[in-house]
Structure 1
């Protein structure tokens, strides 16, 4: 009896300490831009890495993987806005209660109100985020944005890049408040 209790305890402690790894192919990170007041488009990033370990969830986005649907625009966004040579990635770090992620039963979903520390273009800002976390299976968690996260590009010293994009494309305006949504699938390793 004692032996089976200790084995169960050991298995539980290993699952609590196990790392959750982002499945890039099954995950999306989209952002919406508006130009000339009424032309709105959804764009995405194709490459990101992430993990949940301990009480910290981290996502790293390869900014050169931006996909706007137009190759020349992708290049301009990489060079003029993100300056990927100097700032190749953006990160988001969230402190979470690991027990909340591990304790969700398959088929259940919980809402979490957290603060994300966004590191973009060499600037760190704390942004409130509402997450929905669903247990798809014992070892799979889907994390989605309950509401779009509004990223103000001015707060990340990206206004010069926005203006450069506007000028080169001969636009009247590009909105600096950018809604971001995500659907992130994590698998426990």
Structure 2
């Protein structure tokens, strides 16, 4: 009788362990992740230039229920030019009054958790982006790849297009344009992400 009892205890322990693992949340490995955005500028003589920028400080987490939350520190924009970083923070984002951009969305965690290393899934979702003084719904297309161990690579299939006019940022863009002596700065901003997410124990 001892062996069946021990077997039942072992089986119950394995089931509980699996359930705990399935419910564990994900957090961002910030050192291995990137959040980039592009700007398209036109000089007064009509020459167009596309530049790649990044945010140096941001966080992402997916809780047990699959609720994704991404927080971006708007004073951490890195354009490669210090005075421009300051202008983007102060004149565009007004980071003193609006320090964060926040994206929320829902993921199907049970489906993602059973992926084997090397498996890839394409995920389309609706994200709620709060930026400056507005919240808008944006389509987000992701590619999720299971890595070795409890790690997942989450990256955009295509850039997320953020329209500055939906977030009361056009005046700030015009200010940046005038300060830089440009003819125009596009209000459509492509944003891309490459995130390594790790499962919390």
Q: State the TM-score bracket (shorter-chain normalisation).
A: over 0.9
2:108 corresponds to 1:97:
yes
Could you tell me whether the CA contact under 8 Å between 1:22 and 1:185 is conserved in 2? yes
**CA RMSD in angstroms, aligned pairs only:** 1.0
Give the TM-score taking structure 2 as reference length: 0.91
Shift in Å, 1:100: 2.1
2:84 corresponds to 1:78:
no
Q: Distance in 2 between matches of 1:122 and 1:6?
A: 50
The partner residue of 1:124 within 125, 135, 140 is 135
Give the TM-score taking structure 1 as reference length: 0.97
Give the match for residue 191 of structure 2. Answer: 180
Shift in Å, 1:38: 1.2
Give the match for residue 10 of structure 2. Answer: 4
Q: Name structure 1 gaps, 5 residues minimum.
A: none
The partner residue of 2:68 within 57, 74, 92 is 57
Q: Name structure 2 gaps, 5 residues minimum.
A: 1-6
Give the match for residue 49 of structure 2. Answer: 39
Q: Distance in 2 between matches of 1:137 and 1:188?
A: 12
Could you tell me whether the CA contact under 8 Å between 1:114 and 1:129 is conserved in 2? yes
Deviation beyond 4 Å, 4+ runs, structure 1:
none
Could you tell me whether the CA contact under 8 Å between 1:110 and 1:133 is conserved in 2? yes
